[in-house]
Amino acid sequence: MAKNEAAEDSDNAEAKPAGKMKLIILIVVALLLAVGLSIGGTWFFLGKDSAPDEAKAQAGAEQGADSGTPLNKTAIYEELAPAFVVNFTYNGRPRYMQVSVALMTRDQAALDALKVHMPVLRNRLVMLFSNQDFEALITPVGKEMLRQQATASVQELAQKETGNLAVEQVLFTNLVLQ
């Protein structure tokens, strides 16, 4: 009988480590499954949103190629140095404005053609800036309106002198009112 009990004890001893090993393997498989589902779910949801964007970008590029608009070209920025400093009078007091301007274009050749006319461009902008109302310029809407007027003025000059718009936007990189 002692031999039977000893044999049962050795069988139980061997069964316990095998049960622990099964538990460890089961936990590892469950963790791998959870990580896989997490990665798959993330890929599914993020991939689903980017597919229409890629299709829109491709359609926009095809439209740009058909219409001749430079949609896929990178922007080129040209800083106009030195900054513009103009004075004007408000309520009998002298006021000053300093504006740093950058031109945004997507065609380097058109920008180079416009650089020849830089004195005329700077003159137009100085005249535009000096004819502003101080009360309007202290509001964000007034600053945006001035930026749009500057863009229209530069595009008009570019169209007149070079035959194309050349400049997509005029950007204010610094604007100080005193």
pLDDT at position 131 is 87
Range of the domain at 153: 76-177
Q: Is there a single domain that holds both residue 31 and residue 49?
A: yes
Which of 52, 99, 55, 107 lies closest to 79, judged by CA?
Answer: 99
Q: Is there a single domain that holds both residue 87 and residue 140?
A: yes
| Tens digit of each residue's pLDDT (9 = 90 or more) over 137-172 | 888 999 999 999 999 999 999 999 888 888 999 999
| Tens digit of each residue's pLDDT (9 = 90 or more) over 18-35 | 788 888 999 999 888 888
Position of tokens 């491709």? 58
Q: Of 38, 69, 100, which residue is a domain's last? A: 69
In degrees and rounded to multiples of 5, residue 30 shows phi and psi of -65, -40
- The reported pTM is 0.58
Q: Of 52, 69, 86, which residue is a domain's last? A: 69
Helices (H), 70-139: 108-115, 118-130, 134-137
Q: Is there a single domain that holds both residue 92 and residue 146?
A: yes
Q: Is there a single domain that holds both residue 173 and residue 152?
A: yes
Give residues with Cβ within 8 angstroms of 142, minimum separation 6. 133, 135, 136
Structural domains in the chain (count): 2
Q: Is there a single domain that holds both residue 112 and residue 138?
A: yes
Give me the CATH number covering residue 140. 3.30.479.30
Position of tokens 């530069």? 154
Cα–Cα distance measured from residue 134 to residue 21, given in angstroms and rounded to the nearest whole number: 80
Contact between 81 and 158 under an 8 Å Cβ cutoff? The reply is: no
Which stretches of 21-165 are assigned E, i.e. beta strand? 76-90, 93-105
| Tens digit of each residue's pLDDT (9 = 90 or more) over 57-100 | 555 555 544 444 545 689 999 999 999 999 887 888 888 999 99
Position of tokens 């408000």? 90
Cα–Cα distance measured from residue 124 to residue 155, given in angstroms and rounded to the nearest whole number: 11
| Tens digit of each residue's pLDDT (9 = 90 or more) over 98-129 | 999 999 999 998 899 999 999 999 999 999 99
